[in-house]
Structure 1
Amino acid sequence: MGTEQTSGHRLREFVTNSEQSTPTSSKSKTSPRLVTFGGNARYLSDTFTSAIGRISASLTAKFTMLIGIFVALPFILYGQLAEADRQTRTLLADSIKHGSWLIAQSLTPVLGQAGELSNPAIGTILNKFAQDGTVLQLMFHPNSGRRPGSFYFVASAPPIPTQGTAAQLDDLAQHGILKSLGDSCTGREPLEFRYAQQNSTKELLTSVVPIESQSGCWALVSTHNGSEFLSTSLSEPYWQTRGVRIAAAVYIAFAGLAILVAESVRRALRHFRSVAREIRQGGSSKATFYSRNIVPELASVAGDFDHLVYDLRRAAADIRETAEENAHAIKTPLATIRSALESIKRVVDSSDQRSRRAVCLIESSLSRLTVLVSASQRLGNDTANFIEAPKLSINLTMLIIDVLQNTRDFALEKNINLIHRLAVDVHVLASRGILEVIVENILDNAISFAKDRDIIMVTLSKSDDRIDLCIDDQGPGIDPRNINHVFERYVSHRPSFTPNGVINSDAEEPCHAGLGLWIVRRHVEGLGGEVTATNLVQGGLRVRVTLPPNASHI
């Protein structure tokens, strides 16, 4: 037997021309040679729609989106709220400026009549307007006798002790307020400032309003304590205000709670996934969904999953037990009939052709019935194994080599050459027994159709989106009228060969029950794949098994 192996994932086909010679159904099909632009557009549209659907249904995507919203929302809202606060500050500053101007207008008649700087009416008026944290200070610059920019400190409300006047003037001078008083009188325009006292108490100098009189220029300094404006952020940046801090704390608390809830659900689902993987890979794993659940609201769901797993395991055991019992119950009377038939064959006269044909027909039917019973028993066991057998990472490359080694003697007896071209280290997450059944049944089917010195080619390749296993033979192929039914149950169109290698269409081997390829299709579809049969142009049949990439995750 000749063998050949390569290490590349992308391999040349043994048969160079594999065009389909007959129409095929969904069970036997080939890809078209030309895809129209409309077909490409439709495919891209379907792919895009499918991707969007998967993303929108993904809990991880929603969790990421939730975090993104919680991160982006403060920046969006802060910009809007800061703009609203800026407008509020502008309106409030204008209001304070206007209030200072009104106070100045109230003082103008008194200041114009004042014969001296100690007029008691000045203090009375200042005290009347010094409310809600407002500090009023009145300065005077005479028209003559003093250098430009020098002012007298006349009065304040609330009153400042005499010993504190010097400190107050030093504070005003340090922050450039005294210099600005002269500018205010010169420009005849109100000025606005903000400064902090030496004791670190924040104050907001809202305006310096000039008041003209015959004797000189009066300047009304209106100052507000910053604590009175915490709610408007006039005395500090907006993000440092109490309201913003409280809102930020509440927002962070709610965001953390929402993320915690989402993460707890996500963790619970991860635990469910780990249990499902253990059950799938471990077969009889004792792990349960209920014991791994961390969310009380999902306890009933976890219990339902556990009951489902129990029912599947019980069904698998029942299927296996029923298959064994039925096989035993049927094989016993079959053995009795076969034994009795041997006695009948001995007493039938060789010249009685009619009786001998009847005996041969009964014997052939018994053989076929025995094969059907054995196949049914194996089918039941395979079904049970498919349900409860552990799904492990199987090296499909090495498994195919092992199957070819086990088949070598049988192939040599029929003088059949087995050649393989296998990609290295192709792994599939499945039961080893299921994969062996798939490869063995296809290979047995190819060998049963092969003639002397025929070649059977086994090719395994792997790409990003699928795994392909192709087994090509040089047999007679399948009648185009029957190719659509080749994977159906109990379908067998199997000619035998004369000693000269000529097909004898009238003979049919009783040892084939028509279940081999049907079992292959069922197992492949159970793994999420597809199996197809195609007649080769130069003669023979190709059976292709295609597995999706998710079946190859390690």
Structure 2
Amino acid sequence: MTERPIKRRLRLRPIFNSLAVNAVILVVIFVACPTIVYFELRAASREKTELLIQSIQEQGRLIAVALSPSLRRFGGGQLPDLQKQLSEMVSGSTKVKVLFRPKAPATPAGFFYVASEPAVSAAYLDDEREHLVRTGIFNELENSCAGNRTLATRYTNPAGQWEILSSLVAVPTDAGCWFVLTSIGGDDAVGMAIGQPYWKNPEAKFAIVIYLIMAVLVLSLFFGIWRNLHGFARLAKAIGDNSRDRGISFRDLNQVPELTSVASEFDRMVDRVAASADAIHSAAEENAHAFKTPIAAIAQSLEPLKRSVPQADERGQRALQLIEKATERLDTLVNAARQMDEAIADLIRPPRDPVEFSRLLGRMLDAYGEAARLAMKRIRGDIAQNVVVAGSEDMFEIIVENLLDNALSFAPPGSEITVTLTREDDTANLEVADRGPGVESDNLERIFERYFSYHGTTSQPGGVDPNAGHFGMGLWIARRNVESIGGTIQARNRARGGLRVIVLLPIHT
């Protein structure tokens, strides 16, 4: 019962370990969280503003009530001195202005300032009246002097500062109409979300800047690591393809100090792998030379023995033939072993040099033509020109040699072996086809396995047919070389008998 949850967790774990997935989740969080917080803060700011406006409006009403006796006693003539009373009632960022409108025909220009707290110059009051006229708050008061009017209007005063007009209280008298206008100025007015979006408030702007800085730092760290890892991946692929610039290392690509030790270890590992490939190549050549020297000595020593053993001595002649065949087979095995070691080394560090495959293949077909004629067989080539592939000449020579040797060994006398080279987009297509016995369908993949030898209807996975000259290594070596440079190789039976070996190679770019 517990296996399913465990398997489900195992499937989900790689997803949540992905930097890209975590980066997307982080971006969603960075977008969702501030959005939610923004709306919550905006609602709280509106509630705070409403409470402050209500407080100022109530203060304006109380001031108007306190001033009413003095205002109602005015019947024309000398205006009452209200400045002293206002200075005693008003404090903080609250501003109060007392205006008077005579009973003459009412127009916006008919409103006159009588007092202000804090006190300002007469010129300032005239400018402010013009500003207030433009806001339109006097329009509804031109023909009325009744009741109170609550305001929540933002405007810029003549000094260039924000003010919030909070209330306008009317006090009717026989001489005209008095108005007590209250407003909020200074920092309280700047911080209110009235007449503008909440994000324009200083506190919201500050929070947004801090949040954006934090988001940029976190995302920069995330994408810096992601970019570094992708740079490592590209360099690793270039190293695997043997196409990197020798002067570039993981340490050079690294831009995150915490990954310096990782990059250094990668560089050391690459150096060790390259040294191992060079060592395998050197060992393959040295071992082949060490074995071939005594083999050559044995082969040369056979010549005088052949002359000294009489033709009538059947046992002696038979022994010499066995020694000669065994020497030839031993030489073939040494060559195959060298090619196997070189193929393994090329898997570690495959070459990626441009090779004009058309010319190389044509030259090899000319060389094999004579051997085919001696065996009463023909080789016909159909080679597209200017096909350039990525690898090395030695590697492609080994591939072609093993394919031609395999085709010649199975093709019957008088038959034709066709070799075709074409190009399709970024791929070179090489095909070697013979009219031999073909291969059973179950063994079409197995013929590329190491030490698998197939002779007509007889297959010997682990052994060697002493009369066939096949050791089950030629096609295996060809496949290793092809795959080491990013190509593919496969075998198909021909419709009227025979075998087709198809090789796809990457074009050099």
Question: Normalised by the size of structure 1, how large is the TM-score?
Answer: 0.69
Matching of residues 59-74 of structure 1 within 5 Å? 69=27
Q: 1:526 aligned to 2:484?
A: yes
In the other structure, the counterpart of 1:197 is 157
Aligned mates of 1:528, 1:295 — CA distance in 2: 32
Q: Which moved more, 1:253-262 or 1:203-212?
A: 253-262
User: Cα distance 1:169–1:251, how it changes in 2: closer, same or farther (>3 A)?
Assistant: closer
Aligned to 2:420: 458
Query: Cα distance 1:296–1:227, how it changes in 2: closer, same or farther (>3 A)?
Result: closer
Please show how residues 297-376 of structure 1 align to structure 2 within 5 Å: 297-338=258-299, 353=314, 356-376=317-337
Indicate the residue corresponding to 1:416 in structure 2.
378
Letter matched to residue 541 of structure 1: L
Residue deviations 1:80-133 (CA, integer Å, cap 9, x gap): 626843663465146414531453156337525755238979666644542221
Counterpart of 1:242, as a letter, is P
Would the aligned equivalents of 1:417 and 1:455 in 2 still touch at CA under 8 Å?
A: yes
1:494-534 CA-to-partner distances (Å, cap 9, x unmatched) read 57xxxxxxxxxx99344x44321010122223234432222
Q: Retained in 1: the 8 A contact 2:162–2:190?
A: no
Distance 1:91 1:323 in 2: 85
List per-residue Cα deviations over 1:300-337 (Å, max 9, x = no partner).
23332332233233323332333334334433444455
Secondary structure in structure 1 of the residue aligned to 2:153: coil
Between stretches 75-84 and 247-256, larger displacement belongs to: 75-84
Q: Secondary structure at the match of 1:137?
A: strand
**Contact 2:452 2:472 survives alignment (8 Å):** yes
TM-score (norm 2): 0.75
What amino acid sits opposite 1:116 in the alignment?
Answer: R
Question: What is the RMSD computed on CA atoms of the aligned residues?
Answer: 4.5
Gapped runs of 5+ residues in structure 2?
1-10, 457-464
Percentage identity across paired residues of the two chains = 29
Structure 2 counterparts to residues 71-470 of structure 1, below 5 A: 77=34, 81=38, 84-85=41-42, 88-89=45-46, 92-93=49-50, 95-97=52-54, 99-105=56-62, 107-108=64-65, 111=68, 115-117=72-74, 126-141=86-101, 145-148=103-106, 150-151=110-111, 153-160=113-120, 166-182=126-142, 185=145, 189-211=149-171, 217-234=177-194, 237-258=197-218, 260-261=220-221, 265=225, 266=227, 270=231, 273=234, 277=238, 281=242, 285=246, 288-290=249-251, 293-338=254-299, 353=314, 356-384=317-345, 387-388=348-349, 390-394=351-355, 396=357, 399-411=360-372, 413=374, 414-420=376-382, 422=384, 428-450=389-411, 451-462=413-424, 468-470=429-431
1:223-251 deviation digits (Å, cap 9, x = unpaired): 22153333334476544433333334434
Cα 1:155–1:447 shift into 2, 3 Å: same
Residue equivalent to 1:539: 497
DSSP 3-state at the match of 2:206:
helix
Question: Please, which runs of 5 or more residues in structure 1 have no aligned partner?
Answer: 1-48, 496-505
Q: CA deviation at 1:387?
A: 4.2
Query: Number of aligned pairs?
Result: 481
Residue identity matched to 1:420: D
Kept in 2: contact 1:393–1:429 (CA 8 A)? yes
Further displaced range: 107-116 or 367-376 = 107-116
Alpha-carbon spacing, 1:399–1:128, altered in 2? closer, same or farther (3 Å) = farther
- Asked if 2 retains the 8 angstrom alpha-carbon contact of 1:272 and 1:293, the reply is no
Distance 2:416 2:303 in 1: 38
Q: 1:425 to 1:132 in 2, by over 3 A?
A: farther
In structure 1, what is the Cα distance between the partners aligned to 2:244 and 2:188? 73
Q: Determine which structure has greater relative contact order: mean sequence separation of CA pairs < 8 Å that are 6+ residues apart, divided by chain length.
A: 1
Higher mean C-alpha displacement, 120-129 vs 214-223 = 120-129
SS in 1 for 2:322: helix
**In structure 1, C-alpha distance between the alignment counterparts of 2:455 and 2:111, rounded to whole Å:** 122
